[in-house]
Amino acid sequence: MKFFIDSADLKELRDLADTGLVDGVTTNPSLIAKSGRNMLDVIKEICAVVTGPVSAEVTATDHATMLAEGRKLAKLAPNVAVKVPLTPDGLKTCKALSNEGTKVNVTLCFSAAQAILAAKAGAAFISPFVGRLDDVGTDGMALIADICRIYAAYPAIKTEVLVASVRHPIHVVEAAKLGAHVATLPPNVLRQMYNHPLTDKGLAAFLADWQKTGQSILG
């Protein structure tokens, strides 16, 4: 499974990229707004930090303007993936950009039917929002299972399932068990994945025993 980071915070992204565990980045207008900076500048800087896909979202809702925005975003860097909403105009834009060789991330997916349409439109990624489905009493991971099963039945489908709205490490583990290709994680969720009390306890015991020997590996 690939890990994308869902953030527009350059400091956070640089720190996490240094781990070697980051395969890409997703952004959206809300995340960009938090940075208080120019969107195009932020996207260019993020693309220089990671070599994998960086999702940059259009802000228009009509096809013509979405397409113009998508083309402008795609020119910012070779690893930009244009993000469009799962609407009729968004899918029309997805088809046009995909035909031009641009990777497209279709976002705000909440049903398997929508995911089928995104694949038909040539999306490189489909972003089902598991956390938001959980919030309204629906099993978000059941949607991931459905999409993975449908896509696997058709070898011609190349769209990758990008699990979004991830709230905790269990979402990541369950998505991986189902065969999802990508999970996009808030920085805190990736850091939570390191943690286990038995790891901390075991390390403390090893270090205590080592100190008793009075030795140093470096001499």
Catalytic center residues: 83
CA angle (153, 160, 89) in 5-degree steps: 100
pLDDT tens, position by position, for the chain (219 residues)?
A: 999 999 999 999 999 999 999 999 999 989 999 888 999 999 999 999 999 999 999 999 999 999 999 999 999 999 999 999 999 999 999 999 999 999 999 999 999 999 999 999 999 999 999 999 999 999 999 999 999 999 999 999 999 999 999 999 999 999 999 999 999 999 999 999 999 999 999 999 999 999 999 999 998
The distance of Cα 75 from the centroid of its chain, to the nearest Å, equals 21
Q: Which CATH number fits domain 2-213: 1.20.1440.230, 3.40.630.10, 3.20.20.140, 3.20.20.70?
A: 3.20.20.70
The distance of Cα 96 from the centroid of its chain, to the nearest Å, equals 22
Give the Cα separation of 48 and 46 in Å (integer): 5
**How much is the pTM?**
0.94
pLDDT (tens digit per residue) in 35-49: 889 999 999 999 999
For the chain, the domains span: 2-213
For residue 123, the model assigns a pLDDT of 98
DSSP the chain: -EEEEE---HHHHHHHHTTT---EEE--HHHHHHHTS-HHHHHHHHHHH-SS-EEEE----SHHHHHHHHHHHHTS-TTEEEEEESSHHHHHHHHHHHHTT--EEEEEE-SHHHHHHHHHTT-SEEEEBHHHHHHTT--HHHHHHHHHHHHHT-TT---EEEEBS--SHHHHHHHHHHT-SEEEE-HHHHHHTT--HHHHHHHHHHHHHHHHHT--TT-
Contacts of 86 (CB under 8 A, 6+ apart): 106, 107, 108, 109, 114, 117, 118
pLDDT (tens digit per residue) in 131-148: 999 999 999 999 999 999
For residue 219, the model assigns a pLDDT of 83
